[in-house]
Amino acid sequence: MSRLLIIGCGGVAQVAIKKCCQNSGVFTEICIASRTKEKCDRVKEEVDGWTKTKVTTARVDADKKEEVVSLIGSYKPDAVLNVALPYQDLTIMDACVECKVSYIDTANYEAEDTNDPAWRKIYEERCKRLGFSAYFDYSWQWAYEERFKEAGITALLGSGFDPGVTSVFSAYALKHYFDEIETIDILDCNGGDHGYPFATNFNPEINLREVSAPGSYWEDGKWIEIEPMSIKREYDFKEVGMKDMYLLHHEEIESLAKNIPGVKRIRFFMTFGQSYLTHMKCLENVGMLSTEPVEFEGRQIVPIQFLKRLLPDPATLGERTVGKTNIGCIFTGKKDGKEKTLYIYNVCDHQECYKEVGSQAISYTTGVPAMIGAMMLVTGTWKGAGVFNIEEFDPDPYMEALNQWGLPWVVEENPVLVD
């Protein structure tokens, strides 16, 4: 019996909402609140026919803490699931502290206005201190530790697939298979085809900013940053086949480096086809990925936001996307003094996801873990006052829930390693 406030109603949120509605024994009531209330109403209409969960909707601008506080005050949820954008993480966390309600998200804080001088000063200092230049990092949210502790509430950071499930795979590997993990390679393969010349599988602004940024990995206690897309490997993914993949910076590297004791190297690879990369390079070269506003016919336009307007809405890709994703982690390390290697991964079929919830697998593989993270907190399975990355909790109940709620995983011994 619980009441969940879900903020955001995009691709990921719509899967999380439908999964909560399937899990109506736990989520007896949910409120879907977003900037565009009509979207929330449409999803409510879709689920009302079949779910026992009582669904209500609301309009909220989550950039404004007062609006979130007022909504929490009137709805009185047991927890808030933030599946809006990383830009809203801090305002929603502030509201949760004020109202003493637990918080779950799927992506770490990113500043929307990267030209804000106050933000830039902190950012530039961090780039120097830590050695990676991504616009997002955990320091902003980890800084809430004392406030969450004092309020006696939990913040569960990063309950998507990556970060999220990949981080839980790491905790599970450490708990059951290794005495010491030496390296982690996170491999994110999307073998799906939506038939468009170019589209992104989740929010284009967030996605393109991530992919066009310098890559980086963690080795021997420090970050090594590389030119964007300059480390390429090939890998033969189970149920997908041979794919090119590129080393990217990714947020879970930062938390795993802190939470997996003694880990020596963590890398993240994502697959991209040549056509995607050619389109992206071209858009970048002409300035369409820029977040700097430009003046056009008397109006200020942010190029990447205009591009988002032109690209297909990721939430509409489901019907056309065929193929599978394969996302997981390859671990090397030691057990009982012997060298050991292990691969834990999930394969997810785009069309199966579409049949079940009307979404493609990228939204599905993020929305299901978002629901599971919320379930871990509202059922009291995971407890603790403070700010936690997902790998800090016992992975077993989460791994069980993945099998139960549509993301079964495979453990493979002695996999092919990435050089």
Ramachandran bin of 346, using left for φ above 0, alpha for ψ from -120 to 50, beta for the remaining angles: beta
- Report the alpha-carbon distance of residue 112 to residue 95 in Å, rounded: 19
Least separation in angstroms between residue 155's CB and ligand NDP is 15
- Report the alpha-carbon distance of residue 91 to residue 96 in Å, rounded: 9
The residue written with tokens 């697939």 in the block is: 161
Q: How do 338-349 and 324-335 pair as beta strands?
A: antiparallel
The residue written with tokens 């879900």 in the block is: 6
Q: Are 101 and 82 in contact (CB under 8 A)?
A: no
Of 11 and 328, nearer to ligand NDP (C-beta) is: 11
Of 149 and 320, nearer to ligand NDP (C-beta) is: 320
Of 75 and 178, nearer to ligand NDP (C-beta) is: 75
What's the residue count for the chain? Answer: 419
Nearest position to ligand NDP, beta carbon: 10
Least separation in angstroms between residue 414's CB and ligand NDP is 27
- Report the alpha-carbon distance of residue 148 to residue 127 in Å, rounded: 26
> For residue 134, what is the DSSP state?
-
Of 61 and 180, nearer to ligand NDP (C-beta) is: 61
Side chain identity at residue 294, one-letter code: V
Of 78 and 251, nearer to ligand NDP (C-beta) is: 251
Least separation in angstroms between residue 36's CB and ligand NDP is 4
Q: How far is CA 71 from CA 34, 93, 279, 378, 404, in A?
A: 11, 14, 41, 19, 32
- Report the alpha-carbon distance of residue 198 to residue 8 in Å, rounded: 25
The number of beta carbons lying within 10 Å of the beta carbon of residue 230 is 10
Of 183 and 359, nearer to ligand NDP (C-beta) is: 359
Least separation in angstroms between residue 285's CB and ligand NDP is 25
Least separation in angstroms between residue 340's CB and ligand NDP is 27
Least separation in angstroms between residue 262's CB and ligand NDP is 25
- Report the alpha-carbon distance of residue 127 to residue 110 in Å, rounded: 14
Of 32 and 263, nearer to ligand NDP (C-beta) is: 32
Least separation in angstroms between residue 306's CB and ligand NDP is 15
Helix (H, G, I), strand (E, B) or coil at 241: strand
- Report the alpha-carbon distance of residue 209 to residue 370 in Å, rounded: 22
Of 12 and 280, nearer to ligand NDP (C-beta) is: 12
Least separation in angstroms between residue 237's CB and ligand NDP is 17
Of 41 and 145, nearer to ligand NDP (C-beta) is: 41
Residues that bind ligand NDP (CB under 6 A): 7-13, 34-36, 39, 60-63, 83-86, 88, 106-107, 160-164, 202-203, 206, 314-315, 366
Greatest Cα pair distance, the chain, in angstroms, is 68
Of 178 and 364, nearer to ligand NDP (C-beta) is: 364
Residues 6+ apart with CB under 8 A from 40: 9, 32, 33, 34, 57, 58, 59
Least separation in angstroms between residue 289's CB and ligand NDP is 16
Q: How far is CA 251 from CA 207, 215, 220, 401, 409, in A?
A: 13, 11, 18, 23, 22
H-run or E-run covering 409: strand 409-413
Q: How do 409-413 and 102-105 pair as beta strands?
A: unpaired
Least separation in angstroms between residue 210's CB and ligand NDP is 8
Helix (H, G, I), strand (E, B) or coil at 33: strand
